[in-house]
Amino acid sequence: MHRPSAAAEVQPEEEHHPTDAVFQRAAEIFRLMSTPIRVKIISTLCHGEKNVTEILSEIDTTQPNLSQHLNMLYQAQVLDKERRGNQIFYRINNYDVVALCRTLCSQIASESVSGPR
């Protein structure tokens, strides 16, 4: 089991105590991001808005499956969308989720290169 060094151990917060609502929202975000395809969608859209065809060219899945995941992210207000003609363009709407995904993926990638501490 990975145990952080003494310097990296999490210290209890003195002034800010999250409410149950904060923990509930955090759990909702983790649940939403619990499938690799949704994390890939976020990563793809970090580079700018894209339509479904452009996203599909970067993610190996079917169009109906992609649309289902895009809709879930949209309903959760992680993504925003705009119709232009017969195409729908998606973009990031919640950059806190992006920061969370980047931090976690970077940490995992770093550990896979250096091995667990």
Q: What is the pLDDT tens value at each position of the chain, 117 positions in all?
A: 444 444 445 555 556 788 888 888 888 888 988 999 999 999 999 889 999 999 999 999 999 999 999 999 999 999 999 999 999 999 999 988 888 888 888 888 888 777 655
Distance separating alpha carbons of residues 16 and 58, to the nearest angstrom? 41
Q: Which residues of 50-72 are buried (b: 16+ CB within 10 A; e: fewer)?
A: bebeebbeeeeeeeeebeebbee
CATH class of 35-114: mainly alpha
